Amino acid sequence: MTPIRTRFAPSPTGFLHVGGLRTALYAYLVAKKQGGTFILRIEDTDQNRLTPGAVENMIKTLQWAGIDFDEGPGKGGPYGPYIQSERLELYKKHAQQLVDAGHAYHCFCSPERLDRVRAQQVANKLPPAYDRHCRNLSPEEVAQKIQEQPEHVIRMKIPVAGDLTFNDLIRGPVTFGYKVLDDQVLMKSDGFPTYHLAVVVDDHYMQTSHVIRGEEWLSSTPKHLLLYQYFGWKAPLFAHLPLMLNPDRSKLSKRQGDVAAEDYWKKGYLPEALINFIAFLGWNPGDEREIFSLDELKQEFSLERVGKAGAIFNIEKLDWLNHYYIQHLPTQELLARLKPLLHEKGWTNKSEEFLLAAVNLFKERMTTLPDFVSAGSYFFDAPTEYDQTVWVKNWTPDTARHLLTLEKLFEQLKPFDAAQLEQTLRDYATQKNLKTSVLMSPLRLAITGVGKGPSVFHTMEVLGKEESCARIRTACARAAA
């Protein structure tokens, strides 16, 4: 059996798109399920579209997501270099080989001429394509033009008739007629190959067993398969992943939300949740299970269970998963992930014990990591403002008097814990013939500044006696002012 070797081959033109993350994940899973090798290859042949820092950024995001590559930039491997701009000689040699064998030709057409041809075709309602003007130049003409115009392109010869069928691992048999294919440029005038030549040469030499990529590359596959034939190489297997769609079934786009994987990182989604979510954008296990760790995915994932219908990117599902994973992280680990956010806020002077207790109490209410530092800010800063709607509704002329009496009772508690606090409040309410809620809402407001949150008694226990009592006094003073 041929060893399984898959690759993720992004172009470093910006951030890692969530679609790219899915491609990387699926390719990684196909390799890992069978003890194979996962390769990262940087496809930087379009020099005009490079973004500085993009490669480092992509690698960082893949690492964050837990997708480790076995061969690739910075890691090396037996078939490197893994950056296409470092492999130019190889592509040049293979382009020449195709020319020599009569499968490709030099093309000297100027951009102006190509524009004219295109405009004419559009005017005549024909599909725009190269008119093969240079395909039949005589060897003498070619030799002379090469002298005159060393900067020109090399195009592949597409058969004029017939068709090509291949078996896509997701779509089944797919047929393309040659007449819809253009004589694709293989080498550009800047000495760089196009994606089409480089991808085939690299997948061959890197011994890729499965090409797993987005549906947008499906129509390029017949060109690639022709190149494999021209070179006399065995082609890898192909799997084209379904499109990712917005809930309104339009193509996933920046207009409707974030499409950069790192945006989800920045927004406080856990890699476990994002990976679980992304895995289901096209794949399902065939039963009701929804929670899969990366290790479980490595066991269970298969391309046979990837559908060809577009996959809806449903952010509510991601939120649900993130909430789930947050609840299931040990508090210590959750705190470790929150630490960078706490540092950003300058909340660094609290004890580990305090932080663990606060996180433990608040975690149920967290959908994303920043929820803790936004909605739970009262663990760190005493409220300076009070939710006015809650105040108006719950703070009566008697409230301050009751709370100040309670505060005196709270001060005497030993230990100052949730059970004792609650008992004290209940006893006081009974004694004064009050409903507990009449006391509890203003108490919460005094302690947290807001109307909602985890148990107010537990919150007070975490904050401690001194801080809790001070907050009660402050709120009462504010009411009197």
Q: Kindly list the residues in this chain that would bind ligand GLU in the complex (CB under 6 A).
A: 9-11, 43, 195, 199, 211, 213, 217
Contact 372, 366 (CB under 8 A): yes
Contact 261, 301 (CB under 8 A): no
Which residues face 37 on adjacent strands?
A: 5
CB of 41 to ligand GLU, least distance (A): 8
Largest CA distance in the chain: 110
CB of 127 to ligand GLU, least distance (A): 23
In 3D space, the residue among 40, 37, 41, 42 whose CA is nearest the CA of residue 5 turns out to be 37
Q: Which tokens in the block code for residue 224?
A: 């690639």
Closest to ligand GLU by CB, 213 or 323:
213
Closest to ligand GLU by CB, 11 or 276:
11
H or E element in which residue 37 lies: strand 37-40
Closest to ligand GLU by CB, 87 or 213:
213
CB of 11 to ligand GLU, least distance (A): 4
CA distance 353 to 358: 9
CB of 45 to ligand GLU, least distance (A): 8
Closest to ligand GLU by CB, 40 or 187:
40
Residue of 254, 267, 339, 408 marked active site: 254
CA distance 480 to 102: 94
Gyration radius from the chain CA atoms: 32
Q: Report in angstroms the alpha-carbon separations of 337 from 304, 430, 446.
A: 36, 44, 29
Could you give the angle at the alpha carbon of 307 between the alpha carbons of 306 and 308, nearest 5°?
125
Closest to ligand GLU by CB, 281 or 335:
281
**254 counts as catalytic:** yes
Closest to ligand GLU by CB, 79 or 354:
79
CA distance 468 to 425: 14
Contact 185, 209 (CB under 8 A): no
CA distance 255 to 341: 27
CB of 56 to ligand GLU, least distance (A): 17
CB of 219 to ligand GLU, least distance (A): 12
Q: Which tokens in the block code for residue 246?
A: 């917005």
Active-site residues, by number, are: 254
